[in-house]
A = this chain, B = another copy of it.
């Protein structure tokens, strides 16, 4: 199949498929006479794997690690588990940060009622003078 069909099947954009190839996450496929990329079932599976990982916000560098690991089916998979555990930790950190941020913004928002002039806007005044708790 050509790149457009692969894109549709996987939900990746055509550009990002070419980008993954350049970054060596997927192997360069064979080409047609006029130099079009031609993909087979195996290419499709590989890209689906990558897409699933990206849906989970796993970075391209980490996906490369996982792909390498898959090359050695007899080794222990503790690195895989570790990688996922670390991601869950990162998400927890990010959520804590966002909660704080939301608190600060909500607090800030409460400093101004509607129908004020800029001069009297409590939000702008707060931003000038007060640290924001971060």
Contacts and interface: CB of A to CB of B under 8 A. Distances in A.
Interface of A: 45, 48-49, 52-53, 55-57, 66, 69-70, 72-78, 80-81, 84-85, 87-88, 91-92, 94-95, 98-99, 101-102, 104-106, 108-109, 112, 114-121, 123-124, 126-128, 130-134
Contact of A91 (B69, B91, B101): B101
A130 B115 CA distance: 52
A128 B95 contact: no
Contacts of A87: 105
Contacts of A108: 56, 84
A84 to B, nearest CB: 5
Nearest to A85: B109
Looking at A77, A119, A131, which has the most chain B CB atoms within 10 Å of its CB? A77
6 contacts: A73-B119, A80-B112, A80-B121, A80-B123, A88-B109, A94-B98
Contacts of A124: 66, 69-70, 77, 80
Contact of A128 (B45, B80, B102): B45
Contact of A134 (B56, B99, B130): B56
Nearest to A115: B76
A81 B45 contact: no
A88 B69 CA distance: 41
